[in-house]
Structure 1
Amino acid sequence: MVLSSTASSTARRLGAADQSGRAPQGGAAEPGLRERKKQRTRDALRAAAFELFARKGFEATTVEEIADAVEVSSRTFFRYFGGKDDVVLATIDDQYTDVLAAFELRPADEPVWTAMRRATAEVLARYESGETGMSAESFARVTGLVSVSPALTGRALELCTTRIDEGTQLIARRMGVRPEQDPRPALVAAVMLSAIQTATGAWRENEPDTPTSVLVDRAFELLGAGIDYPAA
């Protein structure tokens, strides 16, 4: 999945009801009845999936069980998700979209790394508090599933990698440079992804009870201070 790499495309993604189903920032028009019904079904499927994952385990849960829990057919499930792993990945994609949108809305004179750090912390805090239409418990389960499943970890990394170019374009725009001539925007986008992966992966294992937003913000803080550490 290769997504648009322009800043305006991010605004368009948030300016109308799409599959993420969350209200766009800035007070855009309410979605229609059909879209709201579709979003309710999608949210119900996701909630049922995470409940089953928590109770039975990710591997043991089937698509049929998820659909049955919402009293819809498996065919209906596949209208919204490509498979049970896509329930998890769709949430991660939603988060990435929200981070990029929040980054774009940061004050224009704010330095790139500061703006990205604050945008990421803001978005993760909203997910942790259940302000996005997804329960805080479901968000915690997403983080837990990705951290313990090598297959999901790999797919999540692959998903975010496909969106590095989108982040690169937004970073370049803030810096006022052309990314094909200046390598820094792509470097920042890649480092941002690595910081999030490290915080939610390796650090999560050692600090299971620390909020994701805190772990990720710590990674951003360390990188912002520089990593040319002295030798022992």
Structure 2
Amino acid sequence: MTATAPEAHPSCPGTPPPGRRERKKQRTREALVNAAFTLFAEKGFDATTVEEIADAVDVSSRTFFRYFASKEDVALTFQEEQTRAVMTALAGRPAHEPIMTALRRTVVEIAGACERGELGFKPERFQCLLSMMADSPTLMAGSLEHAQRKQQLLTEVIAERMGLDVESDLRPHVIAAAATCGFQAAADVSRRHEAAFGSLSETIDQAFAILESGLNIPPGESA
């Protein structure tokens, strides 16, 4: 997961700063996200309505839908920030690192940053999202769908890093799928058995260590 604060979205060097209208739109979007997570923490995801989120910012539901397709979309803004952070950090890993090692260090780095409130992440929002996904099948389904959509982007980043052709080489596709499944398995296990496996970042580290060492484990071999 990165080197830049995910909420800042700084402009690239040489590009003009956003105009007043764009700044206003960004403020409205951020206000909707903040209001949504406040309500999610108070009432739970399923009990919170789009109308309540819009009312908290003193805008209409119609305005809400200019920024987000649904309340699931709002909740998963944190996951979107995580994804951007992972892609940025992975691209910056040393070129000599094997791909699964680079993925392991990247994902553990960003998960840890989310937990500690570093790199612009808000730990309370991170914990809120984890709790909501544990309690809401709808949001969990949305999270899995988001991960599937982003898997192709991860495939392309991996292929570029490895110097492979994404259209003719299966390896970046398999690696991206394995990394996605490893993260999802760690998140699921961490939610259910945190006492046994530790924090999410610790569980991710364990999951990616398994991927890094290889999956062809002889029967009966213990960890």
Bucket of the pairwise TM-score, normalised by the shorter protein: 0.7 to 0.9
Counterpart Cα distance in 2 of 1:225 and 1:143: 28
Q: How many residue pairs end up in the alignment? A: 215
Counterpart Cα distance in 2 of 1:75 and 1:99: 33
* Mapped pair 1:23 → 2:36: no
**Shift, 1:49, TM fit:** 1.2
Which of 192, 210, 214 in structure 2 is aligned with 1:205? 192
Counterpart Cα distance in 2 of 1:175 and 1:99: 17
Q: How does 1:72-221 map to 2 (within 5 A)?
A: 72-207=59-194, 210-221=198-209
Counterpart Cα distance in 2 of 1:197 and 1:78: 29
Identity level (%): 44
Report what 1:223 is aligned to: 211
Q: Is contact 2:190-2:200 (8 Å) kept?
A: no
**Shift, 1:124, TM fit:** 2.2
Against the structure 1 CA distance between its residues 90 and 196, is the aligned structure 2 distance closer, same or farther, given a 3 Å change threshold?
A: same
Q: Secondary structure at the match of 1:22?
A: coil
Q: Residue type of the partner of 2:8?
A: R
Counterpart Cα distance in 2 of 1:185 and 1:231: 28
Counterpart Cα distance in 2 of 1:77 and 1:132: 27
Q: Residue type of the partner of 1:198?
A: A
Counterpart Cα distance in 1 of 2:105 and 2:12: 18
Q: Is contact 1:21-1:39 (8 Å) kept?
A: no
Q: Secondary structure at the match of 2:95?
A: coil
Counterpart Cα distance in 1 of 2:141 and 2:94: 34
Against the structure 1 CA distance between its residues 67 and 28, is the aligned structure 2 distance closer, same or farther, given a 3 Å change threshold?
A: farther
Instruction: Output the TM-score relative to the length of structure 2.
Output: 0.84
Q: Residue type of the partner of 2:140?
A: T
Q: Residue type of the partner of 1:96?
A: T
**Shift, 1:77, TM fit:** 1.5
Q: Secondary structure at the match of 1:201?
A: helix
Counterpart Cα distance in 2 of 1:199 and 1:44: 31
**Shift, 1:185, TM fit:** 0.6
Q: Pairwise CA RMSD of aligned residues?
A: 2.6
Against the structure 1 CA distance between its residues 103 and 24, is the aligned structure 2 distance closer, same or farther, given a 3 Å change threshold?
A: farther
Q: Is there any run of 5+ residues in structure 1 with no aligned partner, and where?
A: 1-14
Against the structure 1 CA distance between its residues 74 and 128, is the aligned structure 2 distance closer, same or farther, given a 3 Å change threshold?
A: same
Per-residue Cα deviation, 1:41-65 (whole angstroms, up to 9, x for no partner): 2222112212211221211111111
Against the structure 1 CA distance between its residues 28 and 68, is the aligned structure 2 distance closer, same or farther, given a 3 Å change threshold?
A: farther
Q: Residue type of the partner of 2:174?
A: L
Counterpart Cα distance in 1 of 2:14 and 2:187: 32
